[in-house]
Amino acid sequence: MNRKLFLTIVALASLLPLTGCWDRRELNELAISLALAIDRIDDRYLVTVQVVQPSEVVSQKGGGETTPVTVYQSEGVTLFEAIRKMTTYSPRKIYAAHLRVAVFGEALAREGIGDALDLLSRDYEFRTDFYLLVSKGMTAERTLKVLTPLDKIPASKLFNSIQTSSKAWAPSVTATLDEFLEDIEGEGRNPVLSGIRVAGNASKGDTKDNLNQVRPPARLRNAGLAVFRKDRLVGWMNERESKGYSYITNNVKSTVGHIPCPDGGKAAIEVVHSEAKLKGSVKDGRAKLAVELSVEENLGEVQCRIDLTRSESIRELEREAENTLTEILDKALGVAQNKYKSDIFGFGEAVHRSNPSAWKSMKDDWDNLFADTYVDVQVKVKIKRTGTIGNSYKERKE
């Protein structure tokens, strides 16, 4: 009896080493990659991976002898092959679960990134919460070869600065993998991605010299919005147009802009709350589109002569702000409709919601229909506060 029990226990215990441990990976067997760049060279993919050197990032004693990150590159007909091939250069297996950003080269983006996205969404190791970016006017790999100050890891610098500015600066837009896929799979909305470029002397970015100057020679810069039609890049939006896009798609959490004063000069206003309503309906077989934007603002800086104690002057400023915003929205709508013929705002979804049966006949040619439809823009601005002082001190002296 006891012998039987003993043998059973031995048999069960031997199961532990037999079945377990097969996917065990120690932390120091991982090449933690935080950024991935994908370019197209002829019919092959060039994959670049930015891998962290942990001991350089977390320097207990001195450190800083080598660069905080290193870059591995390889080519392959498919992405999966290319990434696996990296093990021939890298001492450790590339570990992608902590990927912060994936950058696509502009050339690849113009061809379409749908095929490249398949691996990112299929492989279990990739999460879906990293940001997708497009490198403007250069290959994506160059953006991964720039060392950045303050945040030692360039990938997390990119991630953090996109995240921070999207909260405080309207033209910045974030798009994660799952959001992007949702846009290209769904109907009635085309995706946009943030653009990125290396400003300054790009060739100096990959040495430590880049960090030894107060103003680094090579710097990573936001490069406006990349407008897509399905998975294909069709063009770029500048800062002002990007701002309009953010307002219409409700991406503005807080931002700052300026308006002209009634009697000349400028005033800066801070947006504290912004809400846009997209309206789409179908009348007589034609789509009717409208945007209603209501914005709450604070006065942040006054560089003109105006008596802020009078409520009329506040109202005048509100009217100026409404005009400025209408202009911004019209500009963004104009670029999307006329230049790129791409409904990046999601008007199609609004039409779909309001009239599903009419949408069925429209959806195949929606981008062209959208380009020809007039969009009615209504803007309402409310200035709530004027800061800690009333009138500008210049006004008070007299």
Partner 1 sequence: MTGSANLESSLKANVASIQERTGNSDDLVVRDIGIGTEGAGIDFAILYFEGLTEEKSINQFIIEPLLNFGATRGEHPLTDVHMLMDRLRKSVFAVGQIEAINDLAAALDALMSGGVLVLCDGYAQGLRISMAGGEQRAVTEPTNQSVIRGPKESFTENIRVNSALIRRIIKVPNLVLHNRKLGKETRTNVSIMYIQGIVDPTALSEVGKRLGSIDTDAILESGYIEEFIQDEPYTIFPTVLNTERPDTVAAALLEGRIAILIDGTPHVLLVPALFVQFFQASEDYYQRADISTLLRALRYFGLFIATLVPALYVAITTYHQEMIPTQLLISLAAQREGVPFPAFVEAIIMEATYEILREAGVRMPRAVGQAVSIVGTLVIGQAAVEAGIISASMIIVVSITAISSYIIPVFDMSIAVRITRFLFMGLAAAFGMFGIFVGMCAMLLHLSSLRSFGVPYMAPVGPFVLSDQKDVILRVPHRSMKTRPSLFGKLNPIRTRRKDRDQP
What is the secondary structure of 18-80 as a DSSP string? Answer: HHTTTT---GGGEEEEEEEEEEEETTEEEEEEEEE-HHHHS-SSS--SS-SEEEEEEEESSHH
H/E element holding 31? strand 30-41
Q: How many other CB atoms are found less than 10 A from the CB of residue 356?
A: 9
Amino acid at 207: T
Contact positions toward partner 1, by CB under 8 A? 16-17, 19-21, 23-28, 30, 32, 34, 52, 54-55, 57-58, 60, 95, 97-98, 100, 125, 127, 153, 156
Least CB distance to partner 1 at residue 101 (A): 12
Cβ proximity of 319 and 311 under 8 Å:
no
**Pairing outcome for strands 44-52 and 69-76:** antiparallel
Q: Which is nearer to partner 1, 55 or 309 (CB)?
A: 55
Q: Which is nearer to partner 1, 30 or 276 (CB)?
A: 30
What is the secondary structure of 257-320 as a DSSP string? Answer: EEEE-TTSSEEEEEEEEEEEEEEEEEETTEEEEEEEEEEEEEEEEEES---TTSHHHHHHHHHH
Residue located via tokens 């609004």? 350
Q: From residue 78, give the alpha-carbon distance in Å to each of 94, 97, 119, 329, 338.
A: 16, 20, 9, 41, 36
Q: Which is nearer to partner 1, 53 or 373 (CB)?
A: 53
Q: Which is nearer to partner 1, 5 or 214 (CB)?
A: 5
Least CB distance to partner 1 at residue 160 (A): 11
H/E element holding 371? helix 366-372
Least CB distance to partner 1 at residue 117 (A): 20
Separation between Cα atoms, residue 336 and residue 368, nearest integer Å: 11
Least CB distance to partner 1 at residue 320 (A): 44
Least CB distance to partner 1 at residue 287 (A): 44
Least CB distance to partner 1 at residue 17 (A): 7
Least CB distance to partner 1 at residue 156 (A): 7
Separation between Cα atoms, residue 147 and residue 158, nearest integer Å: 11
205 secondary structure, DSSP code: T
Q: Is 183 helix (H, G, I), strand (E, B) or coil?
A: helix
Q: Which is nearer to partner 1, 10 or 16 (CB)?
A: 16
Least CB distance to partner 1 at residue 98 (A): 5
Least CB distance to partner 1 at residue 64 (A): 13
Separation between Cα atoms, residue 121 and residue 323, nearest integer Å: 43
Q: Which is nearer to partner 1, 58 or 389 (CB)?
A: 58
Separation between Cα atoms, residue 247 and residue 378, nearest integer Å: 12
Q: Which is nearer to partner 1, 127 or 339 (CB)?
A: 127
Instruction: Show the tokens assigned to 41.
Output: 């060279």
Q: From residue 319, give the alpha-carbon distance in Å to each of 181, 259, 381.
A: 39, 10, 7
Q: Which is nearer to partner 1, 127 or 230 (CB)?
A: 127
Q: Which is nearer to partner 1, 54 or 137 (CB)?
A: 54
Least CB distance to partner 1 at residue 9 (A): 12
Q: Which is nearer to partner 1, 54 or 114 (CB)?
A: 54
Least CB distance to partner 1 at residue 254 (A): 25
Cβ proximity of 105 and 140 under 8 Å:
yes
Q: Which is nearer to partner 1, 63 or 217 (CB)?
A: 63
**Pairing outcome for strands 30-41 and 93-95:** parallel
Cβ proximity of 331 and 369 under 8 Å:
no
244 secondary structure, DSSP code: H
